[in-house]
Amino acid sequence: MHVDVGNALSEAATPGVPRDALDRLDDRVADAHRRISEGMDAGEFGYAALNLPETVDAGEIRAAVEPFADADTVLTVGIGGSALGAAALCDALGDDTRTEFLDNVDPAGVRDLLDGIDLSTTVMHVVSRSGTTAETLANFLVVRDAMQDAGVDWTERTFVTTGPDGNLRDLADAHDLPALSVPDGVPGRFSALSTVGLPVAALAGVDIEGVVAGAREERDSLTGSLFDCPAYAYGALAYALDSRGAGVNAVMPYSEGLETFAEWFAQLWAESLGKDGLGQTPVRALGATDQHSQLQLYRAGPRDKMVSLVTLRDRPDVPIPSSDLDGLDYLDGASLGSLLDAEFRATEASLAESGCPSVRVELDALDPESVGGLLYGMEAACVLAGELYGVETFTQPAVEWGKTAARGLLRGDESLPETPSLRVE
């Protein structure tokens, strides 16, 4: 990926980062890079994710999914990091294979999905690191039951990715299901480029070897200076802008194929950095659509935002047919791509004109190498930002309280803490 942080400088934006402050920050980036490199070398928990371009075995993944190559629909049962990486890859790079993600336990949504697919030509990928995630196992049980009701042998249509223990591993052993192992030391939200995110992408026609190659190239660009490394430039500027008041990070790709990438990014950023009272709030947007929704706020609202504009240097295009409609002379000879690019440039300039900081992230094209590089680059940016904030990037302790409480409620333990009520009916 290519990054331009010019519009995040204090000469362009408020908040903005002075050039000399960037020079000083670069010393901290060098220190952080040493820490990250040590973690990678030792395969430490979390840091090990940045080794995936070397450690992932695409051939093993291809072999595991090969029996399901004829599936019309690929159904992932998983939640959070167990679903978002595959979804981001499939939406950016997938072919016409139908991919569905059961990443919620909404009964209406699950019923509609099951009513709308042919289970006999569906393959189910069940993903849970612990093998015990409540939502995932509940959905698995519902789909398994539906397959049995439809006369489909679920053991022939299911494969799993999980850890060494837990229900999913036991199921795989008992029923001889193809089973991939979650990689050691890789938290769910950093697992897109592994046995978690790549199998379904492979079934959806994605060149996963190209994705990994792009990630490897991005890894090779990790150096001790933000001025030489796009991933670190992004992470360092996000941190520096947040420190100066940009608590909101609006990620706005100008490519519909990257809409799910923004959702993946939101999990990565929120769950990794949102701790100890710190962390930017990621906001998902989409160019050009959200120019008609969020841009008013970005330009004229509080000065608490940075906008991460993601765009493509090259894209397949569609010409706009000429017409004799009044006042549309500016569309003569234009294409949807040139219109979208013009809107991108105009939006970037309009943010600068209003003093709202933005960072430009450019991909060569929506191709496997670039998307692999983007995912890897944002993971590295996040790890760097975690070092700069000084937080525990790879844990998510604040979600445990609610998980325990939900299990208690289902067991009939109604002892939630009392909270005030002020009802308006």
Q: Which of residues 293-352 bind its own copies (CB under 8 A)?
A: 293-305, 315-318, 320-321, 323, 325-331, 334-340, 342-343, 345-350, 352
Contact flag: residue 379 with its own copies (CB under 8 A): no
Among 55, 97, 243, 289, binds its own copies (CB under 8 A): 289
Strand, coil or helix: what is 255? coil
Place of tokens 């994705």: 211
Residue 50 Cβ, how far from its own copies at the closest point, in Å?
Answer: 18
Strand, coil or helix: what is 115? helix
- Which residue number, 58 or 372, has a Cβ lying nearer to its own copies? 372
Give the C-alpha separation, 222 to 40, whole Å.
12
- Which residue number, 55 or 223, has a Cβ lying nearer to its own copies? 223
Tokens of 77: 């049962």
Give the C-alpha separation, 2 to 33, whole Å.
19
166: Cα within 13 Å, side-chain hemisphere: 20
Among 21, 110, 117, 213, binds its own copies (CB under 8 A): 110
Tokens of 246: 């940009």
Give the C-alpha separation, 220 to 218, whole Å.
5
Among 66, 72, 228, 314, binds its own copies (CB under 8 A): 228
- Which residue number, 10 or 55, has a Cβ lying nearer to its own copies? 10
Region near its own copies per CB under 8 A, out of 34-42, 46-54, 74-82, 190-198: 74-82
Contact flag: residue 396 with its own copies (CB under 8 A): yes
Q: Residues touching its own copies: how many (CB under 8 A)? A: 136
The region, left, alpha or beta by phi > 0 then psi within -120 to 50, assigned to residue 158 is beta
- Which residue number, 180 or 359, has a Cβ lying nearer to its own copies? 359
- Which residue number, 37 or 225, has a Cβ lying nearer to its own copies? 225
Tell which positions 21-40 bind its own copies, by CB under 8 A.
Answer: none
Contact flag: residue 247 with its own copies (CB under 8 A): yes
Residue 99 Cβ, how far from its own copies at the closest point, in Å?
Answer: 14
Residues with catalytic annotation?
271, 292, 403
* CA 231 from centroid of its chain's CA atoms: 15
- Tell which residue, 58, 362, 378, has the closest CA to residue 210: 58
Contact flag: residue 151 with its own copies (CB under 8 A): no
Strand, coil or helix: what is 55? helix
Among 88, 233, 371, 385, binds its own copies (CB under 8 A): 233
359 touches 230 (CB < 8 A): no
